[in-house]
Structure 1
Amino acid sequence: MIHCKKSTNEQGASWYSLRPTSIEIGLPDMIGIDAIHDGHILIVDDQPGNVTALTGLLVANGYRRISTTTNGRAVAAMHRAHRYDLILLDMHMPDITGLEVMKQLRAADPEHYLPVIVVTGDQHSRIAALEAGARDFIMKPYDFVELDARIRNTMEVRLLYKAVDESRRLMEQQAQHDALTGLPNRRLLLDRLENTLEQARRQQRQVGLLYMDLDGFKEVNDRYGHACGDRLLVQVAERVRNAVRRADTVARIGGDEFIVLLPEVCDVRDAERPAEKLLNVLREPFAMPEGDVQISGSIGMALYPDNGDDMERLIASADTALYSAKRAGKSRYEIARSLQ
């Protein structure tokens, strides 16, 4: 038996929360029947009787997440909020046509796969809907087997599209972020730095760059092993990220080296304050399975445009200042010399 609980919101939209059925249909391994039955479906029809009938057919075949509305003008806003996996759209409604709804959906979600199946009894409307971008159609009166097949096929394509899109986003994330700490890597840092400097040139403002290296990290690796060193880097990344503003970028550029990009500074004190804060948080012991670990950090500080009027010079100036801090005794910061 299938249990269906229904509630209605102020937009005239209903939500059905359903328990699964035992119906199983063979599908490719990539997208299973459970994933298809978990897809979120929106039924759009101005006739409550049609909504009830179509909902019943979907429930009988195991679909568990079904929303409904009799208000065609609310569809675009609802899709923007919920990103439905399938929209079953009646083409003939008194307040708005199905074609107008599809146009609004396109505007609301211009870059994504639009998962619309139109429901119509008119041959001309079916062709017009397909030309407007509908993925498929269902003719009235419903043929149960055909209805189920068309819904499953469209849902499977939609879920495959979402899986590919998610894989693409994951690949972009991995290409721009450090695998160990999750911080932006050198590639993403340089991209943000370039954009920040372009804005700073136009607005005639300063930018700060903190080049940080850990003191004592090699000794931790040598004594406790690289696994301990990796755990330490993760904790360092978390502390540094929490110590700066959300607008600042913290990047790991390799080994135990980090760069903090400060996009908005008015003077050198605006860069010194976060540098001092970072040095303080790094002096606190790090709790590790091997025992408390004590390290510190050295920082080289450079300001645009005084210490470098492009990316390469700015980073080089901060790097030189970092090694000055190392030579001066570590656990400190040094300010780069101004350009001659």
Structure 2
Amino acid sequence: MLFADSGLSDAQITVLLAIWSTTAVVAEVPSGAIADRFSRRGCLVASGVLQAFAYAAWVVFPSFWGFALGFVLWGLGGALESGAFEALVYDCLAANGDEDQYVALNARVDTVELIAQVPVAVVATALFSWGGYPLAGWVSVAMCLASSVVALRFPEPPRGSGDEHAGYFATLLTGLREAIPIRRAVIAVALVYAIDAFEEYFTLLAQDWHVPTLWVPMATIGLPLLGAAGASLAGRLRWRGWVLFLAGLVLIAAAVLAVPLALVLVGVYYGLYRFVLVHVETALQHRIDADTEARATVTSVAAIGSEVVAFAVYGAWVLGGAVAVGVLVLVIALVIWRPQ
């Protein structure tokens, strides 16, 4: 929908996506340090504003350079939000001695995010049919700005246990150093979160498995809902080391069947995957030193790792489709295996 009637070639679209990915990778850790040194709530506010400007650029300048500007702004906005949100939520809970509630809250956030994909997709389609991309774009600008207004109301507990006069680069280096002792948790988040890149191929799976094009949206609409179910269960059940391994086996089974009904198995895989993702993200937040002033930076280190590992997911898809991705999931499951 973003590139509808843009006149851009496939090569230009590929370059634009590369610009977006590169911007996100380069800005990820530095933006985490900004959140730690200055304000995590401020980063969330700025994230919404930058992404609003990205949509505006796409609407006002529907050309290659307009899209390039928008993707740079979008990448910067996403980097500012990444790390800052998790750190702010954890700090707010820690301020009241409720750190143990992070897994439940993280599960709720993940659940709502996935469920929201369904009505958002319906509304976006309706807006596009009524007023084309300009209408959908300007409504998106308004929603991004509204998210910044909401973020302004987030509480932000004071953080003064460290050196209040430490500079930005000192904060950045502190975060990088603190990621080393807990590297196992950082690597686990990077590996597991990277798997989410496979979600982009769900519609292609439906088409490859002989779902009529007209029915592809309806055939895949249940997948984020099953993912939401898995995320919700993560707030109630403990993680077992075999869950991600089971997810990989289910995905491989679905790929071998390669029929429309196999999408149900893809949904089961996605639910199991989101269950594990909530738990590894929570484990990382618990492993970060409670007295650190660089929580967002450490979280961003894991995020940048996931951006890099995501290329392995893309490569697996190119080389062997869903079967290869399932094998990659099995490998990642073995790497992060934590017997209980």
TM-score range, shorter chain: under 0.3
Q: Whose RCO is larger (CA < 8 A, sep 6+)?
A: 2
Q: Which protein has the bigger helix share?
A: 2
Q: Which protein has the bigger strand share?
A: 1
TM-score (norm 1): 0.20
Rg larger for: 1
